[in-house]
Amino acid sequence: MMQQIIIKKIPGEIPGPTPKEKQGYIEDLTKKTKSELLELIERQDKLLGNKKFISRLPDKGAKITQLRSRLAEELAQRDEVEKACGLLSGLNLGKPSVTDEIEWTGNYSPNNKCNKLDSDDESDDERNPFKILASQAGVVGKDDVYVKRLCDKLQKPTETKKEKYLPHRTTKSGQLDGYKKPLGPHWEVTAATPPPPVHGDTKLISLNESLDLQKEQATKLQELQAKQAAETLAAQFRFEDGRHIA
């Protein structure tokens, strides 16, 4: 009985490495890590340092030199990206001073200290746009806002709302406010019947009108004081003249 032979070989030939793979061809350098790039650069430097090996190559090491330059460019780009990420991570854009400095000067100096004084502080203040704007604009405090709101409330005239028409009401309440009942011929002042008012009702005026009234009152008071002083001096002169005559 014949023994069955098992064929373990796959029919056909296995393709060997391509010429590019033999030369260590790398298709995409961006997929390599930084440590792999450094290792490849070190390997290319060792190959270029072997003069006998380079002399036996048909291109005399041109491809190795080109690959080495590509690796160096990729590594330099990685370093620039890492440097930019480090600056952005340390840059706090939430601070108004940082955003103002970037907006006005276009630069950001993280080592700049505001508390450092030198002899050019006055000239720096004159050239600093933030301090110029701050000196012209001024600072508004809580008290100023409250005073402005109060003045606007006092100066703003009160708007009278128009009352709705009601059929059961013949007159409006506002029409009876200024109405006064005529007094009888014999008005007795008692606890139940107080005396009639001497002065009229108060009137709401604006703040500017109040200031004008105060100025007018102060002027009248000065004139009255000057008149009293003149009368006092005249009385003293008359008294002294009478004594001299006597």
Tell me the two tokens of residue 35: 């440590």
pLDDT at residue 113, rounded to an integer:
46
pLDDT band at 117 (very low <50, low <70, confident <90, very high): very low
Q: Find out whether 129 and 104 touch, Cβ atoms under 8 Å.
A: yes
Q: What local confidence, expressed as pLDDT, does residue 218 receive?
A: 92
- Residues composing the chain: 246
- The average pLDDT across 163-192 equals 63
**pLDDT of 244 above 50:** yes
What pLDDT does residue 145 have? 74
Confidence of residue 124 (pLDDT cuts 50, 70, 90): low
Mean pLDDT (whole number) for 217-241:
86
pLDDT at 9: 65
In the predicted model, what is the mean pLDDT of residues 94-120? 56
Residues 64-83, mean pLDDT to the nearest whole number: 87
Q: What is the pLDDT of residues 195-215, one digit of tens each?
A: 777 777 777 888 888 888 899
Averaged pLDDT score across all residues of the chain = 71
Q: Quote the CA–CA distance of 240 and 246 in Å, as a whole number.
A: 10
pTM: 0.31
